[in-house]
Chain A
């Protein structure tokens, strides 16, 4: 740790003086990464072990066995589908609500815009259990318990505030002259928004959409509290049910966990640019 603290000055001197590649640091970074990602490796490894035959998971999947996956798909395919529908629905709803709001907050000097932004920030302090507690009673009256629309609406609470902030931050950086030019040419607000602003904001919409998807996909609290039957069951709840009882078949639990991790892994590899944009949020500027 003390050597790490010397980083900045050393870095400047070393890279200027020698210009040689610091593969030693790369090795150290890979070592840190290996420790941090060991649980992910272990998940994949355990999912490939034959179930029930050995007491102990071996360190490597020497003879990969796919019975865990067979069980997982057999028992959880429906739940994975439910999760997928809810997540896609949440993305659509979140973007439909967040993009116009972000536009209004970034461009119009609407009175009360400050209050809206403040409310968005404060909303992050409200514990999910408080929201769930009140929603359960309301959903019970409205017949929204155990329903996909109910979960789409609730899960969007994870994504909408975040989407508004991230799209607005991006729109703040867009030149106002582009929109003004369109308006002068006679385009109404809706047309300017639809055919100029949205296409120009593509990257921020993708970033917001990907994160909204991940938030809804990972949702556990609303799935746990706003469903009471097997009718609508996201995969997070399926996993919780597995580990809620005594587990004697870890390979299928881990196989389900791997399947539930696919969106995160795919997004991190395939959409890394957008993920990076989302984590820093154009914020630490």
Chain B
């Protein structure tokens, strides 16, 4: 989770390293020293080799393989015959022209947008609240991390039971308060399921937003607020003119990372609704899973997976630009 904010740091380092290597390069070492240096370099690379091999096999290879598969008719029979005929863009045409695609694209957008807004707003409000000094602040704040540390499938199971129409805790609570007469079908109604899934995902994401934003707030020097209060900037004004501008770099990183992580979400949706009812919570990620692992159309699943990669890459570019801006500021 440090990935976000680590980047400015690493970029700054990369440039300083570049200038250093440039400096030693001008010394022109003697041939013998050079060969020893070469051996030294080789040795240093050995430390990096296992990681490079792993990353290539478990990230590089899948991406390339997925691109190849998306142009093949890759089905269960491929596993027996070993044949996967080239079909050009057929998989993409099938996947993109399917009526399910627009549904899952809209669901992905709503799911991501709803989750991010909810997590961020509540996370920021809590982060600001925890800026106050009060007893047990640290312990209570760290206990708030629990929803984020639980296995996602555990959270899904618990929420399935809480949101149950007939005997779930939420409906019983609302019933006891006299707000509702009959149980609300949170997860079984086509109009409510997506809202319920977003709600659960917000619950899971609040701790991450709270922690990173809290860290960002702690970095803002107190003197700024003291100077601001002399100029009459207190309360909302202080937030608008001091807190928000100072927090901006952290905010952009939290938001972009949040989007990238939310686009990939599979566990929560599969656990809560399995994409249903009637595909009302089907996203691009879950649909790609269905195509490959339920309908065994691996080629089409790969094509849809690549669509998801492209969407993520757009945000990756935004992420890199945001963190570069963070370095500049």
Contact = CB atoms under 8 A, between A and B. Distances in A.
B146 A240 contact: no
Nearest to A13: B229
A100 B157 contact: no
Contact of A26 (B20, B63, B134, B315): B134
Given A97-B50, A101-B51, A236 B302 contact: no
Interface string A239-258: 11011100100100110010
Interface residues of A, number: 119
B166 to A, nearest CB: 8
Given A57-B169, A97-B54, A278 B1 contact: yes
A133 B7 CA distance: 29
Interface string A121-146: 11111111111111111101000000
Contact of B5 (A117, A131, A243, A283): A283
B105 interface: no
B158 A257 contact: yes
A160 B54 contact: yes
A98 B17 CA distance: 21
Contacts of A138: 61, 65
A44 B12 CA distance: 47
Interface in A228-284: 236, 239-240, 242-244, 247, 250, 253-254, 257, 260-261, 264-265, 267-268, 272, 275-276, 278-284
A242 B271 CA distance: 10
Contacts of B260: 124-125
A81 B292 CA distance: 29
B51 A98 contact: yes
A193 interface: yes
Residue among A21, A162, A257, A279 with most chain B CB within 10 A:
A279
Contact of A283 (B2, B126, B156): B2
Interface stretch (B88-96, B109-117, B189-197, B211-219): B211-219
Contacts of B238: 6, 8-9
B159 interface: yes
A36 B141 CA distance: 11
Contact of A9 (B3, B208, B229, B315): B229
Interface stretch (A61-69, A107-115, A174-182): A107-115
Contact of B288 (A12, A39, A129): A129
Contact of B65 (A25, A43, A134): A134
Interface string A1-38: 11011111111100100000111111011101100110
User: In terms of DSSP, what is the predominant structure of the interface of chain A?
Assistant: helix
A11 B133 contact: yes
B2 A282 contact: yes
A268 B149 contact: yes
A239 B293 contact: no
A122 B128 CA distance: 31
Given A23-B134, A236-B153, A243-B156, A281 B5 contact: yes
B9 A40 contact: no
Contact of A140 (B1, B48, B60, B79): B79
Contact of B140 (A30, A157, A166, A282): A30
Nearest to B317: A125
User: In terms of DSSP, what is the predominant structure of the interface of chain B?
Assistant: helix
Contacts of B165: none
B263 A244 contact: no
A72 B50 CA distance: 39
B54 A283 contact: no
B298 A109 contact: no
Contact of B225 (A8, A137, A243, A282): A8
Nearest to A272: B142
Contact of A165 (B2, B60, B154, B309): B2
Given A113-B14, A268-B146, 19 more contacts: A5-B239, A39-B159, A40-B150, A56-B167, A109-B21, A114-B14, A122-B316, A126-B63, A133-B298, A137-B78, A138-B61, A156-B54, A169-B2, A189-B44, A220-B267, A240-B270, A243-B156, A243-B157, A279-B212
11 contacts: A6-B236, A12-B225, A22-B132, A23-B134, A25-B129, A30-B140, A127-B308, A133-B292, A272-B142, A283-B6, A284-B212
A-B residue pairs, 8 tightest by C-beta:
A281-B2, A101-B51, A284-B215, A134-B62, A218-B151, A283-B2, A25-B134, A104-B47
Interface of B: 1-7, 9-10, 13-14, 17, 20-21, 41, 43-45, 47-48, 50-52, 54-55, 58-63, 65-66, 69, 74, 78-79, 125-126, 128-137, 140-147, 149-162, 166-167, 169, 172, 203, 206, 208, 211-212, 215-216, 219-220, 222, 225-226, 228-229, 234-236, 238-239, 243, 250, 260, 263-264, 266-267, 270-271, 274, 285, 288-289, 292-293, 298, 301-302, 305-306, 308-309, 312-313, 315-316
